[in-house]
Structure 1
Amino acid sequence: MHKVLILGGGIGGVAAAIALRKQGVAVELVSERDYLFIYPLAIWIPTGGAQFRDIGIPLSKLARKHGFSLTIDKVIALDSERKTVTLEKTGVRDSAAFVVIALGASKMKHDGIEHTTSICGKPEDSLVLKAKIEALIERGSGSIAFGFGGNPNDPSAVRGGPGFELFFNLHHHLTKLGIRERFEMTFFAPMAEPGARMGKRAFSAMAAMFEADNFTTRYGKKISRFEADGIVFEDQSRLKSDLCMFIPASDGHETVRRSNLPQNSAGFIRIDDYCRIEGVRGWYAVGDAAALEGPEWKAKQGHLAELMAHNAAVNASVEHFGRKEEMRGYQEHLNILCVMDMGDGAGFVYKNSKRELFIPMPVVGHWLKKSWGHYYKLSKLWL
């Protein structure tokens, strides 16, 4: 039986493992964590809307359900010339028929980043944020600053949506407690119009909600450094904060950067439309690890990682295992899709090259996103 080695136990890696097993291919999934953390659902942990234990799925359960083998280990080296993968505990692997790299990405480093906490960082950071929010509520008042950064070498590596969602959810939480007016809430970003890639309708609607909810903004100024009590911008202006949540832009995974894999200027792996790594036969890259090609507004999202994973599975089977089917490209399916949760409702956002939508969904939108979370977990464990 053909052997596939999948590197990474996130949304893309798990999707690839399941898709390949359905085709009867032997799969070994390598993951540094022993659980799949569902990042789109983590926005509710800091405000108590979800429990940490409910946001993950043990990879051992997924392995038993779908019949792939699981190795908990860290990838420390990749060699595209020798076709080898080196793991921290178990050493060199070179026997796989092909490899799918779904390692995700590293984060850009900012001076003083230790003074911030991210909802898109380590899973445990969501609990740190929860503790900080509870401490600030106990204190009774304060300044709250949420923001995200950009990567000038790859604009698609920005992840601002979860920051906006948590910001709205915290506002809703403080409002329910009857103490919202005691807190100054500011959103900051180095770009002049953060969120503009979602489309004009979504951006305009969000700006209106910011005004209605009495949020302040600090846009268009590059971040110089973070300090214990605030953010300093390039013009040396300061934004005071007792709580700072910041999502750094993604950067090429550190193991990829050290490798001889083809990379763009940000350290993401160069692939073709079929997710094949340029010049490395039998190796594929999906999700945040890969360099996307396409329109200027393109963005890396979980649903795109899943699509790329499914495509890589089909394309590998066509090229290497004799499956009779058309190869599948990801670029024609590029879009921005999200249900932006606000705690008491949501907004449906969709954009592709032909159209853009923003549909307000008071009340029901929140429960729609909650329902998606249940569906996602059930679909991986039972379907």
Structure 2
Amino acid sequence: MKILVLGGGFAGVEATIKLRKYGYNVTLISDRDYMFIYPVSIWIPVGKRSFEDTKLNLFDLQKKHGFNLVIEKITKIDIENQQIVTNKTIHEYDYLFIGLGMSKVYIKGMEHTHSICGKPRESITIKNELEKLVTKGSGSINVGFGGNPKDPTSTTVRGGPAFELLFNISHYLNKKGLRDKFKLTFFAPMAEPGKRMGRKAYKNMDSFFEHYHVNTHFGKKIKEFTKNAITFIDNTQLDSDLTLFISGGDGMNLIKNTSLPQNETGFVKINELCRVENKDNVYVIGDAAAIINHPWAAKQGHIAEVMADVSTYNFHNTIIASGKRKSYWEKLHIICVMDSGDGAAFVMRTAKKEIMIPLPIVGHWLKKGWGWYYKQSKMKRMFRIPGM
């Protein structure tokens, strides 16, 4: 039995580890030889974390967990012939777990922006650009995020890292004694950015903006980005020496060019078992999957790992002819420690409740501790706490 897992991120790595725990021989295919821990990459631009320390080497994970590892670029997913084509060879499979990420909605001039949720090395670019402005001694920095017009539920919006990066930059400039020399603005095309975290959390964002002396610019569609400005649909502009923007998610062309069932944004339709309908041997997990029936939900690394756990559990019980099954719908919730450089806020949302707890000082160390714990637990150096 040949089992392939595609993608070396949260979903793919967790699925691979879980399949090994069930005793299966599994091959992970990734175009990078490391997993990038995006939730803590917010500290790279402000010098609190190195790029190397934000990586988890896949070859080290391979040695610990005993899976097969292939570092190749996937060029085609051939569902009909049960083959994965890469830049080097063709891999056949009996069962497939797709844990790939997502693309970004393109807005004119987006090459003039940088994203903390883009390719890993963009975090270093942001650091370098920020240091240039610090050396200059003043400037305008605009941080924001957008959505996908084709996605009415907005589950492809990823705003949390934008808030975190913004507040961390404010704290960083304050420590440099330059905060009053910079204009920081948070922008978004939607009227109520951050509302997905819950009404309570959204209302509390005003206090964060006030505390970190951040201007806001909401409710206007972005027309284009230029080297020194952001232009909106009404032709008004925000001057910008540095624009940091997380665009809305879109399905990858790699997946759009398959026969897999997809929604209007190119994400794969799955059932609550994380299995593709009418494809008993294909599971899709993480960002590549369409989240349905939960319009308040959002794509997070945490949800990717939940889906990895659910899909491998269901796969295993199918193989051993057990009737036991899990639903990822039952485990859906938003959870994050929104770091601000000198503190944080704990945010949690489910279908029935919303929680936001300010955590001055200790919250920052709590998130730093999670980053350390995540790497150590994945490498089997300490006990893995269920659900974390």
Regarding TM over 0.5, the answer is: yes
**Counterpart amino acid of 2:103?**
S
Moved more, 198-207 or 351-360: 198-207
| Number of the residue aligned with 1:163 | 162
Secondary structure of 1:291's match? coil
Structural mapping, 1:4-23, within 5 Å: 4-23=3-22
Q: Distance in 1 between matches of 2:138 and 2:68?
A: 50
Match of 1:233 in 2: 232
The amino acid across from 1:56 in the alignment is K
| Aligned-partner SS, 1:327 | coil
What's 2:254 paired with? 255
Give the deviation of 1:153 after TM superposition.
2.0
Offset, 1:44: 0.1
Size of the aligned set, in residue pairs, is 379
Distance in 2, matches of 1:36 and 1:211, equals 36
Residue 30 (str. 1) matches residue 17 (str. 2):
no
Whether 1:105 and 2:102 are equivalent positions in the alignment is yes
Q: Distance in 2 between matches of 1:216 and 1:51?
A: 29
User: Which position in structure 1 is the counterpart of 2:133?
Assistant: 136
Instruction: Kindly indicate whether the alpha-carbon contact (under 8 Å) linking 1:146 and 1:245 is maintained by their aligned counterparts in 2.
Output: yes
Q: Secondary structure of the equivalent of 2:12?
A: helix
Q: TM-score, normalised by structure 1?
A: 0.97
Q: Contact 1:79–1:261 (CA<8 Å) still a contact in 2? A: no
SS at match of 1:16: helix
Amino acid at match of 2:31: E
Q: What is residue 72 of structure 1 aligned with on the other side?
A: 71
Matched, 1:211 2:181: no
Is the CA contact (8 Å cut-off) linking 2:74 and 2:84 kept in structure 1?
A: yes
The residue number in structure 1 matching 2:177 is 178
Shift of 1:325: 5.8
CA displacement 1:49-92 (0-9 Å, x = unmatched): 100000011100001100000000111111222222211211x2
Instruction: Work out whether 1:370 is the aligned partner of 2:368.
Output: yes
User: Identity of aligned pairs, percent?
Assistant: 49
- Show the counterpart of 2:358: 360
Post-superposition shift, 1:280? 1.5
Distance in 2, matches of 1:56 and 1:324, equals 37
Unaligned runs of 5+ residues in structure 1 are none
Matches within 5 A, 1:141-160: 141-154=138-151, 155-160=154-159
Q: Which residue of 1 aligns with 2:293?
A: 294
Question: For the Cα contact (< 8 Å) 1:146–1:186, is it kept in 2?
Answer: yes
* Per-residue deviation, 1:323: 5.7
Tell me how far 1:324 sits from its aligned partner: 3.4
Cα RMSD (Å): 1.0
Which of 331, 334, 348 aligns to 2:332? It is 334
* TM-score (norm. length: structure 2): 0.96
- Whether the aligned pair in 1 keeps the contact of 2:296 and 2:351 (CA below 8 Å) is no
Q: Any stretches of 5+ residues in structure 2 without a counterpart?
A: 383-388
Change (3 A) 1:180 1:6: same
Tell whether 2:277 aligns with 1:316. no
More displaced stretch, 120-129 vs 151-160? 151-160
Moved over 3 A (4+): none
Look up the equivalent residue of 2:322 and give its one-letter code: K
